[in-house]
């Protein structure tokens, strides 16, 4: 599985939405973010990542559509 540790620190699109699954994790101190994420099961990580990918896809399409106007 590809590493998604960067999402523990910031959203790749400007700012994270309130609905972002990583938003709560980003409120932890740095060490606790890593400990928390590493303790998640593979299925829990997969769920977070899939939610992130869907959100990213929607936000990229909105940005691209907006810029073409």
Res. 19 pLDDT band, cuts 50 70 90 = confident
pLDDT at 65: 58
Report the distance separating Cα 18 and Cα 67, nearest Å. 24
Torsion of CA 66, 12, 38, 22, to 10 degrees: -50
Report the distance separating Cα 46 and Cα 3, nearest Å. 11
pLDDT tens string 46-62:
999 999 999 888 888 77
The pTM of the full predicted model, rounded to 2 decimals, is 0.76
Phi-psi region for residue 3, left (φ > 0), alpha (ψ -120 to 50) or beta?
Answer: beta
Domain segments of the chain: what residues? 29-69
């Amino acid at each position: 599985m590809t590493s998604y540790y960067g999402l523990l620190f910031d959203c790749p699109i400007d700012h994270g939405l309130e609905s972002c699954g990583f938003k709560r994790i980003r409120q932890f101190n740095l060490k606790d973010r890593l400990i928390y994420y590493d303790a998640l099961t593979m299925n829990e990580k997969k769920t977070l990542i899939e939610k992130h990918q869907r959100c990213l896809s929607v936000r990229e399409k909105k940005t691209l559509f907006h810029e073409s106007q």
